[in-house]
Chains A and B, each alone.
Chain A
Amino acid sequence: MHLFIQACILGLLAGGVYALMASGLTLAFGVMRVINVAQGAMIVLGAFLSYTLFTKAHIDPFVSVVLLTPLMFLVGVALQLVFIRPLRADEREELSLLVTWALALGIEGLLSVLYKTNYRSTITSYADKSWRVLGYHLSEVRVFAFGMSVVILTLLYLLLTRTEFGRTVRATVQNPVSARLLGVNVDKVSALGFGISVATATAAGAVFGMVTPFFPGSHYDLISRLLSIIVLGGLGSLGGAIIAALFMGMAEAVFAAEISPTWSSFTFFIVLIAILLLRPQGLFGTNERGAL
């Protein structure tokens, strides 16, 4: 029982970071119907950037997040303008899969050139410290990472529900044609939405680099997990993605602790198959377009 609860705690903390990673992916899908296969590569890129800032300039990864996210937001907007906007609307959904995959390969290639293909890890002074609460270990890094994810997701929620921009985003997700008729600049919303998506990936990457060793090819593993999560949550549903991420984080940790660590990544695939059989549109998805 002790092991089970410990695994649940670990899984919940990991799930929070998954939620941050998946939020951008599902948001980009909601706004543009674009599956960003490069999301995993963006996370790894974020991990490498914060790793570099930490090792070269001794900037703590939690501080570098504040510097990197605005920068990567702009990069995301630029990528959307150059690579995704030119795709014709009727082919965008399928072509964007391939275009973003090419982007992922490009990022992987670039990182391999710059950093070679060794495993890296951002090891801060508090990396192996943990608190003991009621006999359970709470790793400091993981708790901070979870906290940061909660803060960013809360900001994202406030942005989407309390601002004019958020309203235009939600309108676009619900129905881009009507949104356009009502005067929403859908192209602008799409570009900014993709920028936000990349920014969340960067933030998640900074903490990913502290809890997991990574190398330029790590993005494949990440993206397969994240895609399972957003399918489970329902494509385009932000709330669904968060719940699915927390659930998958815990399921994976419990599976690893109770059954087998080698097979724990299969938790994602088992759940994916189950959801396809029982509810192909995902927990909170609709048959047509996802709703935030």
Chain B
Amino acid sequence: MSRLTRTGVLRAVVVFGALAAFPFVFPAQWIVNIAIFTLMYAGLATAWNLLGGFSGYLSLGHAAFFGVGAYAIAIAFTHIGIGGSGYKPFFALPLVGIVVALVSVPIAWVALRVRAATFAIVTLTLLFVVQQLAFNLHHLTHGSQGLALPPPPFDVSTFEQPFYFAMLGVFALAFFTCWWVKGSKLGLMLFSIRDDEDRARGVGVRVTGAKVIAFALSVGFTGMLGGVWAYYIQFIYPQFAVDPLITIGAVLMAFLGGKGTVWGPTVGAFILVPAQQYMAYKLGASELYLLGYASVFLLIMLFLPRGIIPSISDHLARRRSGRPDEPPGAVASAPRATLPGGMAP
């Protein structure tokens, strides 16, 4: 694990402890409902970050795998009719994750032959392919009529809780994987790819392998989150299960919090999702909502493209190095000089 400092572990224990206690402290259904979506996006953004933040390959097609996961759970528990429902879909999640990850390997291998803008284009196109498949494979997905899952037999008063903990579980899995990757050899390989892929290849980094593994891990978690989502929503349509807005939401949160950091995507999600739900509530999920979303998006991209956590840690690094009032011009160079944990001079 990366720099397993006491504060780092403590921070994780406190945050995840608080998250586990949350639905008991605030049992109101609408609050837990928002919390479920917050955790879902925190998981999506964290999973996206594993590829997009660490290796610099900007995927715009993660919603495709979210949809695949959602449809996998939906199809398994309607058509194949694995008897009853209850908690079974949750137990099927690891399998969904593994299958999505394996299926993605050949796709990743093809898509990762190109870089930067072209990779983004290919992944974006992949999203539309999967959406079109969901529309066209009528006998499996019921096309635009949508697919209904068997209603979960949970008690009404605590109906939300199993979904909350399922989301929390997948999110935690993605989070700790991300944390582990960041400090591992794989993480080092991914960062070297992000900084200069040709040079990384030149010094013997097995770039293709590293990229494909990151891609598979990233979309595996995304698929699992899709599975939980489908069971929670109970009725899925191609345009909502494979929604470009899901990708863009996750990307936006990773950028807001700070891509390439462990905590950034989570911070971004915890800020944006409640705000987003509030906006949807205020603006009635109408067309205005899309406009509001686009504006927030543009503001973040233009004014905070590096994200919250990198900006704060730069600030702290400057403080620690005893130069609190750095002129703005020196901002770009100062953190680099004091990088190793802010311990320089």
Contacts and interface: CB of A to CB of B under 8 A. Distances in A.
Contacts of B132: 265-266
Nearest to A223: B124
Nearest to B332: A88
B9 interface: no
Given A99-B301, A103-B298, A265-B132, A227 B121 contact: yes
A254 interface: no
Contacts, number: 116
B128 interface: yes
B288 A276 contact: no
Interface stretch (B23-31, B106-114, B333-341): B106-114
Contact of B120 (A35, A105, A216, A224): A35
Interface in A89-104: 91, 93-95, 97-99, 101-103
A126 interface: no
B251 interface: yes
Interface residues of B, number: 40
A98 to B, nearest CB: 6
A108 B251 CA distance: 19
A98 B125 contact: no
Contact of B125 (A95, A112, A227, A263): A227
B301 A109 contact: no
Interface of A is mostly: helix
Interface in A56-103: 83, 86-88, 91, 93-95, 97-99, 101-103
Categorize the interface residue count of chain A.
35 or more
A95 B302 CA distance: 9
Interface of B: 56, 58, 60, 110-111, 113-114, 116-118, 120-122, 124-125, 127-129, 132, 136, 244-245, 248, 251-252, 255, 287-295, 297-298, 301-302, 305
Interface of A: 29, 33, 35, 37, 83, 86-88, 91, 93-95, 97-99, 101-103, 105-106, 108-110, 112-113, 116-117, 216, 220-221, 223-224, 227-228, 231, 235, 262-263, 265-266, 268-269, 272-273, 276-277, 280
